[in-house]
């Protein structure tokens, strides 16, 4: 299981949890959401979004080939769990990436995918640092983690 993908799926399915930990957002020059900067367990990270409308596949959406399994939690039960408890379930393997992917395919916005990028991912320019919207695409720089204001435009970082 990829922790980065699982956490991204969790935040897509439970947007209130993302609002709870978000310290700021990164937007493209036209205002599309590219990332949230968040703190989890005193670790600063970016929840990066990729708008993938042009990548949709007719056979099940963006992640048609990703293996899924049925979750023991319904979407409503997952949204009712405190975030710390959900993270513990993910760490213990009781709530898996495949189960979150299954819930996402049932209830998520498949035109937008999310994953988590840590400081190392942004510093190394890994694929977890890649964001895209209809107006901008590229790897987010490490500076996105240093939010000094609630909304930062990508032009402020370049």
Answer whether residue 6 shows pLDDT above 90: no
CA distances (Å), origin 124, targets 18, 92, 128, 140: 24, 28, 10, 11
Separation of alpha carbons 15 and 117, rounded Å: 17
Listed residue (141, 153, 148, 130) closest to 51, CA to CA: 130
The first and second tokens of residue 48, run together, are 């990066």
Give residue 58's pLDDT: 45
pLDDT tens for 42-100 read: 889 999 998 876 554 444 455 556 667 788 889 999 999 999 999 999 999 889 888 99
The b/e string for 80-100 (b: 16+ C-beta within 10 A; e otherwise) is ebebeebbebbeeeebbbbbb
pTM assigned to the model: 0.85
Listed residue (33, 37, 54, 55) closest to 46, CA to CA: 37
Answer whether residue 1 shows pLDDT above 60: no
């Amino acid at each position: 299981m990829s922790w980065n993908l699982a956490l991204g799926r969790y935040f897509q399915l439970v947007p209130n949890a993302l609002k709870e930990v978000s310290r700021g957002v990164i937007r493209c020059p036209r205002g599309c959401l590219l990332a949230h900067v968040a703190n989890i367990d005193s670790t600063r990270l970016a929840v990066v979004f990729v708008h993938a409308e042009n990548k949709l596949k007719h056979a099940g959406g963006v992640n048609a080939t990703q293996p899924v399994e049925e979750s023991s939690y319904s979407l409503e039960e997952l949204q009712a769990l405190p975030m710390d408890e959900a993270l513990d379930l993910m760490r213990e393997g009781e709530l898996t990436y495949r189960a979150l992917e299954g819930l996402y395919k049932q209830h998520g916005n498949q035109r937008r995918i999310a994953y988590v990028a840590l400081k190392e991912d942004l510093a190394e320019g890994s694929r977890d640092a890649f964001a895209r919207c209809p107006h901008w695409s590229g790897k987010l720089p490490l500076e996105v983690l240093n939010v000094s204001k609630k909304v930062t435009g990508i032009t402020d970082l370049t």
